[in-house]
Amino acid sequence: MQALRTVQLGEADLVAAGKAMLELMRELYPLCRSITGAGVRDTLTAVSRVAPLAITEVPTGTEVFDWVVPQEWTISDAYLEHESGQRFAEFQASNLHVVGYSVPTDLRMPLEQLSDRIHTLPQHPDWIPFRTSYYQEDWGFCMSACERLAMPSGEYRAVIRSRLAAGSLTLGEFVHRGRSEDEVLVFAHTCHPSLCNDNLSGIVVAAHLASFLRRLDTWFTYRFVFAPATIGSISWMALNEARLSRVRHGLVLAMLGDAGPLHYHRSRTGAASIDRAAAVVLKASYPDAASIDFSPWGFDERQFNSPGIRLPVGRLNRALTGEYPQEHTSADSLELMSEAALAESWRACLRIFEVLEGDRRYLNLSPKGEPQLGRRGLYRATGGYYDGVPSRQMGLLWILNQSDGETSLLDIAERSGIEFGLLAQCARDLEVAGLLAALDDRAA
Amino acid sequence: MQALRTVQLGEADLVAAGKAMLELMRELYPLCRSITGAGVRDTLTAVSRVAPLAITEVPTGTEVFDWVVPQEWTISDAYLEHESGQRFAEFQASNLHVVGYSVPTDLRMPLEQLSDRIHTLPQHPDWIPFRTSYYQEDWGFCMSACERLAMPSGEYRAVIRSRLAAGSLTLGEFVHRGRSEDEVLVFAHTCHPSLCNDNLSGIVVAAHLASFLRRLDTWFTYRFVFAPATIGSISWMALNEARLSRVRHGLVLAMLGDAGPLHYHRSRTGAASIDRAAAVVLKASYPDAASIDFSPWGFDERQFNSPGIRLPVGRLNRALTGEYPQEHTSADSLELMSEAALAESWRACLRIFEVLEGDRRYLNLSPKGEPQLGRRGLYRATGGYYDGVPSRQMGLLWILNQSDGETSLLDIAERSGIEFGLLAQCARDLEVAGLLAALDDRAA
Amino acid sequence: MQALRTVQLGEADLVAAGKAMLELMRELYPLCRSITGAGVRDTLTAVSRVAPLAITEVPTGTEVFDWVVPQEWTISDAYLEHESGQRFAEFQASNLHVVGYSVPTDLRMPLEQLSDRIHTLPQHPDWIPFRTSYYQEDWGFCMSACERLAMPSGEYRAVIRSRLAAGSLTLGEFVHRGRSEDEVLVFAHTCHPSLCNDNLSGIVVAAHLASFLRRLDTWFTYRFVFAPATIGSISWMALNEARLSRVRHGLVLAMLGDAGPLHYHRSRTGAASIDRAAAVVLKASYPDAASIDFSPWGFDERQFNSPGIRLPVGRLNRALTGEYPQEHTSADSLELMSEAALAESWRACLRIFEVLEGDRRYLNLSPKGEPQLGRRGLYRATGGYYDGVPSRQMGLLWILNQSDGETSLLDIAERSGIEFGLLAQCARDLEVAGLLAALDDRAA
């Protein structure tokens, strides 16, 4: 098996990955996911075709840290029916039409009374908002402002054919074993219904990262966790608390299919290796990308970064929460997604993993002055040129100058600005030339 | 008694404080203050009606560190009288007309010879400059350039009815006892005659801070010192050297009544708690304010920050020394002052004190993942909204995320940008909910 | 002997230094320098008239760290002769016409075949490029693109009357003994033929620094090394390895005669005293100058900064490598040079040395509050002025405030922005006044 070398990914690999991810997303789009229930299970079954998942069912009532796993929610139908027989907010038309975790309901009331139960988005009259009430018994409907305006006055019957009952919360895991027991954790939340960017995009990118890494010889063990937001990551941590210390780096994946630039959200300290790895990748390969400080108003990285857990987990996104209007609305649909964006997000993750894999300390074995690269074929023969020094030449010189046994390749990438994959190749060339020795035992 | 909560200050409190401060300033304005003498004593007597001061008289000749307390200066009259009988630069019209600490004089001389003794400000022909000669025996007059031009040639009699004799230098102190013996030092210099911003403004703000804190239950003991610049702060330090180590934070107050933005001058290290407290207050509440690096060409904070004393004392101003033309001239008058500016300066000081009082380390008692805020009424029930997260919600999340026992509320305020008073309220709410424990015994 | 005080350098000193440096450069310009050989020896002989050099000959074949001293190169003539007898690329016209270290050659070939051996600069058709092949046996010619175009087709004879034979590499050293055995190393590379900025400028500035320092009483010992680039600095280090630890600061000099602003290249850590000294000098005296991060694609400082050597050596330049088109071409000629630029470069070096000499820690002997400067004649008598504080007054106050025994004069220069020479004078004045004591024994 070979090692992870993103430089070897060609255009065809990207096209194939993008196509496969969008295809999987199309299949998953109609399912009604929530924090528990059949929608999540069906999603994980589909993902298992790409990367076989181990499934864990966490029973209702299980205490997970400060939380308790809630009842399982099952829904078959929901609608508002006017006395004329005309129906509105039909669940069969969109699973966003019903407030998530709505209790079973079959009530008659006039429109005025019903109005408090109906959520709309007046600023985007054609869009249906996404609303939930997981931890407080409630029910309600979401609909477009246009549809709401079309509702005639009179009596309505509000029907929600749901069930809240003891069941379980479903987690899926895929593990790619590396040579080390140290782990890289990749997390994608699974709890949103027909919403693409948030978070079918994270799910399909994670699935195809897993599928790609399977074929490779890696240093780290890569653990992919698919679980509902908040209660899911908390459940997973509670069930696996004893082995959390194996997680050396972590990445939450979400909102990776839109056309915007990449955004990396730093871990709590902002100084973790994953933060630095993401920064050098974004700087070298994605000039319009940005790193953003940790915020406790984040996704599941806020659970991993809580003070009693303290795992160095960051998050990779394209669109930013609170800054793209389609978020948590029916407009977060397949039209917002592109194969190219998904594929580039996937490659960015691989590039970050490549930094984690290759971040080693080396020792310059000829540390007094520069070694004579020329007689080793590592330096151009005719001197005197000054019109641009090749990056590879700079990479060799930076590594030799910095490799005092304390400085790692990631340190050198940060200081030199040279793309990490190229730098890692320079280090391997210097090792072959007998000028450099790695100070760990990661070599394949 | 209640604690300091600036959020409870209403518009009426500010109006009342501003009015009271300007009223006191009007009363103090005519007094001829210098580094010693009756003007200072009368000033401290008036301040005592607001906050009763303990008075210390330091006798002439007392050695205070490298200095010696000078003779006391008394002045009753001064003028220049032309042979025609016309008088100029009359002390009775403005106490700025005579150079501070001028020796007794009664001499006749022609105008040409007198000219070297007369200070004017040609660039502001209507203004009288303020000049002193404390530590070298001398005499002189200050006058507007206009008045100087109006002086006819001929013989003049220069009369200064002053006295320099053994006496004392006068210090005033007010102490508000808190629960701790650790002190916050507030210093205002008292040595300038009829000049408002520098430093009647500092005197009246300090007096009304003292008067306000008296009614409150505070952690720190607040010590207010009113003393002449340089020799006054040096005398106070020399007399109190053994107890200086109780001073944990300090603030010099001056130039707080003009219309300009607030400026905080950092202490010598720039990293003291008072520096950080001032910075979060200015950032959260005064967008046009700025913090400025320490300079040894400062006010009395340069004495407190000398290398053999090293107290963490900063300075709060509006106008900047050397950058407002009225400084040390007759134009630094009541017209330059506003009740609103004084009141806002006063509130800014209270906000800084509030940070010092509330800067505590807490421990998250449910540190594994986020605690379930919803069932404790600390989280809105319906999920899915992304259009703006309330500051209070963010405050709760930041405190929970950061409270690992090492991070203080001031650290969290710096990182989150959330106004400190709100953050402190969030911490109290979390304490009530059993999710947070303070790691000190400051609680009232 | 007196100490180094650059404030005492007058305009006449600068004019004289500039004139002397350009004169020496004119004498050295025609010599054909390479990494070995007669050109270098003749250069060092000429420099010895300014500052007598100790010469070391390192025999061909000597192992110096990872390198081996190459054969010595001697060249007497070279040209391309057309079958018509017309000659091109004549060595006698310019020593740039032959590729450095070309092997002896006497071959006939048609122009087409010869073309691969001819280097030109099409973007600057009148300039001859400078090319070398030190470590791979080769030969070739360099010529202007215009001359190349004028070459008729047909048969050519390529003649290079050179010799590569056992000999030696020549190093020159001048040492000015200071009171301490700690050394400041100044290095100028000597290996370029008729090129002025790179590096006759470095050679003549170094020579005249040596000549100037000879007359002074210095703390540090100043060691000037003249040697070819790369192999020369490596040879010098290998021969002197046991005493390298005496080098406390170092400066590589090159490209100092052009009209551009000064550029200082930091040492490997970027935090060495030489880096900080250069930064305060450039900031205080050369507003258009800049400091630049270390790069392993540097001049000989990259050898001194290699991980097995780690000497804190920076580099001072005007023009930047890769950013001035004349570099390594015949256009790097005497016309590019100016006496004024050379003189100012020379003064900048002296200012940097002045910082190194004067960077001492002092102790304020009157550290409680400010000492009374007035009675010591160190403060103006009449108070109240605020229109500008003299730099000298600020210097006195900064030194007193900061001199806690841990803060050095360089620290204070960085923080205050005050020119170092003035600050050092303030410190001496405070010492005389009994207010300050130096914490070392550097005093003359």
Neighbours of A104 (CB within 10 A): 14
Query: How many beta-carbon contacts under 8 Å exist across A and B?
Result: 94
What is the number of other CB atoms lying within 10 angstroms of the CB of residue C123? 9
CB-based burial, C296-326: b 16+ in 10 Å, e otherwise: bebbbbbbbbbbebbbbbbbbbbbebeebbb
CA of B38, closest CA in chain C: separation in Å?
Answer: 21
Q: What is the DSSP string of C149-163?
A: HTPPSSEEEEEEEEE
Q: Helix H segments across B29-89?
A: 38-48
User: Residue C177: CB partners within 8 Å, gap ≥ 6?
Assistant: C221
Q: Report the alpha-carbon distance of residue C116 to residue C112 in Å, rounded.
A: 8
Contacts of C186 (CB under 8 A, 6+ apart): C206, C209, C210, C222, C223, C224, C225, C250, C251, C252, C253, C349
Where exactly are the structural domains of chain C? 6-69+168-358, 72-165, 361-438
Res A411: pLDDT = 98
Which member of B386, B389, B398 has the closest CB to residue A327? B386
Is there a contact between C66 and A370 if contact means CB atoms under 8 Å apart? Answer: yes
Q: What are phi and psi of A161, to 5 degrees?
A: -95, 75
Which residues on B lie below 8 Å from C371 (Cβ)? 66
Say yes or no to pLDDT of A230 above 90.
yes
How far is B236 from A103, CA to CA, in rounded Å? 73
Task: Please tell me the distance in Å from C365's CA to the nearest CA on chain B.
Answer: 9
pLDDT beyond 80 at B386: no
- pLDDT digits 0-9 by tens, B77-93: 999 999 999 999 999 99
Of 1.50.10.10, 3.40.50.2300, 3.40.50.300, 3.50.30.90, the CATH number of B72-165 is 3.50.30.90
Contacting partners of chain B (3+ CB pairs under 8 A): A, C
Q: What is the pLDDT of residues A9-35, one digit of tens each?
A: 999 999 999 999 999 999 999 999 999
The span from the CA of A290 to the CA of A235, in Å, is 31
* Residue A191 vs residues A226, A328, B205: alpha-carbon distances, Å: 9, 12, 57
Give the span between the Cα atoms of B134 and B36, in whole angstroms. Answer: 10
Return the structure tokens found at C83. Answer: 């079958």
| CA dist., res. B134 & res. B99, Å (int) | 9
Do the beta carbons of residue A261 and residue A319 sit within 8 Å? no
| Residue C3, both tokens | 């100490």
State the virtual CA torsion across A148, A153, A156, A159 in degrees, nearest 10: 0
- Which of C272-275's residues contact partners 24+ apart within 8 Å by CB, and which partners? C272/C312, C272/C314, C273/C248, C273/C249, C273/C312, C273/C356, C273/C359, C273/C410, C274/C249, C274/C250, C274/C312, C274/C313, C274/C314, C274/C352, C274/C356, C275/C312, C275/C314
CB atoms C237 and A400 under 8 Å: no
Complete edge-to-edge strand list for the sheet that includes strand B183-189: B54-59, B168-176, B221-227, B183-189, B247-253, B313-317, B263-265, B290-292
At C174, list the tokens: 């001048």
In this structure, how many other beta carbons lie within 10 angstroms of the beta carbon of residue C401?
A: 25
Pick from C368, C375, C404: CB nearest B65: C368
Which conformational region is residue B377 in: left (phi greater than 0), alpha (psi within -120 to 50 degrees), or beta? left
- The answer to whether the CB atoms of C383 and B133 lie below 8 A apart is yes
Residue in C closest to A367 by C-alpha:
C308
Q: What is the pLDDT of residue C319?
A: 96
Query: Which H helix or E strand runs over C77?
Result: strand C72-82
Task: Quickly tell me which residue has 């978070």 as its tokens.
Answer: A199
Q: What value of ipTM does the predicted structure carry?
A: 0.93
CB of B244 within 8 A of CB of B65?
no
Cα–Cα distance list, B29 to B53, B94, B259, C77, C245 (Å): 19, 11, 19, 93, 67
The 3-class secondary structure across A320-361, one letter per residue, is CCCCCCCCCECCCCHHHCCHHHHHHHHHHHHHHHHHHHHCCE
Measure the CA–CA gap between A228 and A33, rounded to whole angstroms: 9
**For residue B360, pLDDT beyond 90:** yes
* B88 Cβ contact partners less than 8 Å away, ≥ 6 residues apart: B79, B80, B81, B82, B143, B147, B150, B151
Nearest-angstrom CA–CA distance, B313 and B308: 14
Helices B420-432 and B339-358: angle between axes, nearest 10 degrees = 40
Q: What pLDDT tens digit does each residue of chain C (444 aa) get?
A: 799 999 999 999 999 999 999 999 999 999 999 999 999 999 999 999 999 999 999 999 999 999 999 999 999 999 999 999 999 999 999 999 999 999 999 999 999 999 999 999 999 999 999 999 998 899 999 999 999 999 999 999 999 999 999 999 999 999 999 999 999 999 999 999 999 999 999 999 999 999 999 999 999 999 999 999 999 999 999 999 999 999 999 999 999 999 999 999 999 999 999 999 999 999 999 999 999 999 999 899 999 999 999 999 999 999 998 888 999 999 999 999 999 999 999 999 999 999 999 999 999 999 999 999 988 988 765 565 555 568 889 999 999 999 999 999 999 999 999 999 999 999 999 999 999 999 987 765
Helix (H) or strand (E) holding B391: helix B391-402
Please indicate whether, in this complex, the C-beta atoms of A383 and C132 are within 8 angstroms of each other: yes
Residue A385 has pLDDT above 60, yes or no: no
One-character DSSP codes across A115-170? GGGEE--TTSTTPPB--B-SSS----EE--HHHHHTPPSSEEEEEEEEEEES-EEE
Q: Which CATH number fits domain B361-438: 3.40.109.10, 2.115.10.20, 2.40.160.20, 1.10.10.10?
A: 1.10.10.10
Measured CA distances, C278 to C259, C267, C347 (Å): 19, 11, 12
* Residues of B whose CB is below 8 A from C402: 296, 307
Å between A191 CA and nearest CA of chain C: 49
Across the A:C interface, residue pairs with CB atoms under 8 Å apart total: 95
CA distance B150 to chain C (A): 24
**Which of B368, B388, B398 has its CB closest to that of A237?**
B368
Tens-place pLDDT, residues B175-225: 999 999 999 999 999 999 999 999 999 999 999 999 999 999 999 999 999
Instruction: Tell me if the bond preceding B199 is cis, omega within 30° of 0.
Output: yes
**Which residues of chain C are within 8 Å of residue B297 when distances are taken between CB atoms?**
389, 393-394, 397
Q: Where are the alpha helices (DSSP H) in B76-182?
A: 111-114, 145-149
In terms of CA atoms, which chain A residue is nearest residue C132?
A383
Tokens 């908002």, located at residue: A129
Fold classified for C6-69+168-358: Aminopeptidase (3.40.630)
Q: Residue A380 — pLDDT band, cuts 50, 70, 90?
A: low
Is there a contact between C367 and B308 if contact means CB atoms under 8 Å apart? yes
Q: Which of C183, C330, C168, C333 is nearest to C245 (CA)?
A: C183
Q: State the DSSP H helix or E strand holding residue A407, giving kind and residue range, or none if neither.
A: strand A404-408
Measured in degrees and rounded to the nearest 5, phi and psi for residue A178 equal -100, -170
Contacts of B364 in chain A (CB under 8 A): 306-308
How would DSSP label each residue in C36-70? SSHHHHHHHHHHHTTSPPEEEEEETT-EETTEE--
Q: What average pLDDT is seen over chain A?
A: 95
Q: In the structure encoding, which two tokens stand for residue C266, read together?
A: 């930091």
pLDDT of residue B135: 86
Task: Please list the alpha-helical segments (H only) found in A158-300.
Answer: 201-213, 231-239, 273-285
Residues A244, A183 contacting (CB under 8 angstroms): no
What number of other Cβ atoms are within 10 A of residue C181's Cβ?
A: 11
Report how far apart the first and last C-alpha atoms of chain B are (Å, whole number): 9
Using one digit for the tens of pLDDT, what is the confidence trace for A137-174? 999 999 999 999 999 999 999 999 999 999 999 999 99
pTM for the complete prediction?
0.93
d(CA B306, CA B267): 10
Task: Determine the distance in angstroms separating the CA of B394 from the nearest CA of chain A, rounded to an integer.
Answer: 7
Which one of C362, C364, C386 makes the best mutation probe of the B interface by having the most chain B beta carbons within 10 Å?
C386
Please state, in angstroms and rounded to a whole number, the distance separating the CA atoms of residues B368 and B230: 54
How far, in Å, CA of A243 to CA of A185, rounded? 12
- Chain B interface test: which of A34, A64, A65, A66 (most B C-beta within 10 Å): A66
For residue A104, what is the DSSP state? Answer: P
Taking the C-alpha atoms of residue B425 and residue C403, their distance in angstroms, rounded to an integer, is: 43
